[in-house]
Amino acid sequence: MEKLGLTEENWQQFLEWVWDFVPGVVSAILIFFVGIWIINMFSKGLRKFFQKKDYDETLESFLYDLINIGLKILLIILVITQLGVQSSSLVAILGAAGLAVGLALQGSLSNFAGGVLILFFKPFKIGDFIEAQGVSGTVKEISIFKTKLNTFGNQLAIIPNGKLSNENIINYSAESTRRNNLEIGISYTSNIKEAKSILLDLINNQEGVIQDPAPEVVVSKLGDSAVTLSLRYWASLDDYWRIHFYTVEESKKRLEDKGISLPFPQREVHVYNKDGQNTKKSAFGADKTTVDINTKEENDGKQ
């Protein structure tokens, strides 16, 4: 002992310290692993409980994450206390650490507050189709800090709750019905009354179109190349896209069958030869862009 620089008294104090400290460490380790096991079992039971009850899925997901994280924080505090740290000292340490973490994680705290606002005001729920932050998709999960969307192409979009709670959101699933405003252009030489009759007959004979209020066709714009007709109707969410795509395709077929043309921008080209004569290459359509091309013999420098 003397060779190591330790006296009998110092060695005895060291052994007493180890004897006092080791049981605390062992018990803290046991408490940690047993606590983790208990929390996992409790979390599984909580999830099964939520599955049996008919609660809101958004509330279930949020409460599950909140309870799970809260229990783990309490376990860590219990383990630290078991190591001999005084509760008053622990409170002071946690206060200082909480301030530092709060300053460092302002974005995360904002996302947490956003999650609480989403849970309270419920602008959307799991299963809704929404558009936010330049992303459109079906809500898959709402957690404490973020919301997950499945996009139309089946990509996973993750949006922070802080952004969602402070920016514009379009919820396409909030109402049971939707109104469509389908714009179709016809030429200026076509019969407007006949075209309106064809489109009304098309939409009125489709299953799923709501008749109160009744569908209508109006002239919404006189454009450069076409008279724009707006076909307006209401449909349920389940039938909306089926009716939309069928109407787009079928309206073109029926209008053309009746001799009503669907115009598109055209170009008129005039070619001038060396004698100044004008030859018109093409001239059709209501929207014409004229291009003049002058041709002449090039001087190659020969005498």
Which tens digits make up the pLDDT trace of 135-156?
Answer: 999 999 888 888 999 998 999 9
Query: What is the residue extent of each domain of the chain?
Result: 8-104, 116-171, 177-257, 265-303
**Per-residue pLDDT at 248:** 94
**Per-residue pLDDT at 42:** 85
Query: Is it the case that residue 290 has pLDDT exceeding 60?
Result: no
**Per-residue pLDDT at 155:** 93
What backbone torsions phi and psi does residue 223 show, to the nearest 5 degrees?
A: -85, -175
Architecture of the structural domain at 177-257 = 2-Layer Sandwich (3.30)
CATH number (1.20.1440.230, 3.30.429.10, 1.10.287.1260, 1.10.3720.10) of 8-104 reads: 1.10.287.1260
As a whole number, mean pLDDT of residues 42-56 equals 75
As a whole number, mean pLDDT of residues 33-39 equals 86
CATH number (1.10.150.670, 2.30.30.60, 1.10.3720.10, 3.30.2270.10) of 116-171 reads: 2.30.30.60
Task: State pLDDT tens for residues 180-229.
Answer: 999 999 998 899 999 999 999 999 999 999 998 999 999 999 988 889 99
Query: Is it the case that residue 106 has pLDDT exceeding 60?
Result: no
Examine residue 215 and say whether the peptide bond preceding it is cis (omega within 30 degrees of 0).
no
